[in-house]
Structure 1
Amino acid sequence: MQSLNIANLGEDLVAQWLQSAGWMILHRQFSCRWGEIDIIAQYDGTNQESILAFVEVKTRSPGNWDDGGRGAITLKKQAKIERTSQIFLTKYPEKAEYSCRFDVAIVSCQIMTKQHHELSATQDTITSFLVGEYQFQLQEYIAGAFDCLID
């Protein structure tokens, strides 16, 4: 487990899933003095306006303390992400007219054994992948997860 960066692998899963759904990944781990945004993705719909998604990825093992990462998305965390997104838009003014939203991706990570293979086959997952003996599952993707406005 020490040689794996669990958070980065969870972000990899979400980025791959977004790309498979037609999103373009603009940045991974965009950071400034205010904070970091795990993934910034752009979607250019054929008959709709372009969308920027600022995605917070929470990767957790089963039985964690914060409801799969949902409990870590506090109002303070939301404010940091919003501030960081404003810095991004200042740095890339050509994106300032895009519709923006804040998404949350919940990823589970567990060591796979024969028992887990049988159990995980019945769980609802959006997508998953294996890295060594670890299985990563995108459990939930919440589009527009919190209500912050970008001016």
Structure 2
Amino acid sequence: MSRAEAERRGRKGEALAAWWLRLAGWRILARRVKLAVGEVDIVARRGRTVAFIEVKWRRDAAGLAGAIDAYRLRRVARAAEAIAPKFVHHGDTMRIDVILIAPRCWPRRIANAWQPGA
């Protein structure tokens, strides 16, 4: 798959994840926040919880098994720490989530996928 095709599919996955989050009661605060230390695909809030979300899209459900690893989560965590002051207020809970998406499968959310020191 070409780089452009991978980018197009990634954007489609992020759009589907944002739609799915909205249906679950989350408010999307930002999308595709890129920094030198990493990138956050979606920043979302529900109540007092702010989630910094990594979205992974694969061709099939089998490809989702290895879609996320500690390296990728660390990059998301570093980016989330850098932008947290803009989105997280006193008393809020902050977490890193992952949403895995493949055609003909319901999105799978891994809530609180990254713990500091993990």
Match for residue 80 of structure 1 among 59, 75, 83: 75
- Structure exhibiting the larger radius of gyration computed from Cα positions: 1
Q: CA–CA distance in 2 between the matches of 1:43 and 1:56?
A: 17
Cα root mean square deviation, aligned: 2.3
Q: Deviations over 1:83-121 (max 9, x none)?
A: 10111123x1x6243201111111013xxxxxxxxxx5x
Matches within 5 A, 1:20-59: 20-44=23-47, 50-59=48-57
CA displacement at 1:71 relative to structure 2: 2.2
Match for residue 16 of structure 1 among 16, 19, 25: 19
CA displacement at 1:22 relative to structure 2: 1.2
Please state whether the residue corresponding to 2:66 is helix, strand or coil. Answer: helix
1:148 and 2:95 equivalent?
no
Q: Quote the residue 2:100 is aligned against.
A: 106
| Equivalent residue pairs, number | 112
CA displacement at 1:145 relative to structure 2: 1.6
Please state whether the residue corresponding to 2:116 is helix, strand or coil. Answer: coil
CA displacement at 1:20 relative to structure 2: 1.1
Please state whether the residue corresponding to 1:71 is helix, strand or coil. Answer: coil
Give structure 2 stretches of 5+ with no counterpart.
none
**TM-score of the superposition, structure 2-length normalised?**
0.82
Give structure 1 stretches of 5+ with no counterpart.
45-49, 110-119, 127-137
Please state whether the residue corresponding to 1:5 is helix, strand or coil. Answer: helix
Structure 1: 4+ residue segments shifted above 3 A: none
Q: Deviations over 1:39-76 (max 9, x none)?
A: 010111xxxxx000111111000276xx41x4242222
More helix by proportion, 1 or 2? 2
**TM-score of the superposition, structure 1-length normalised?**
0.65
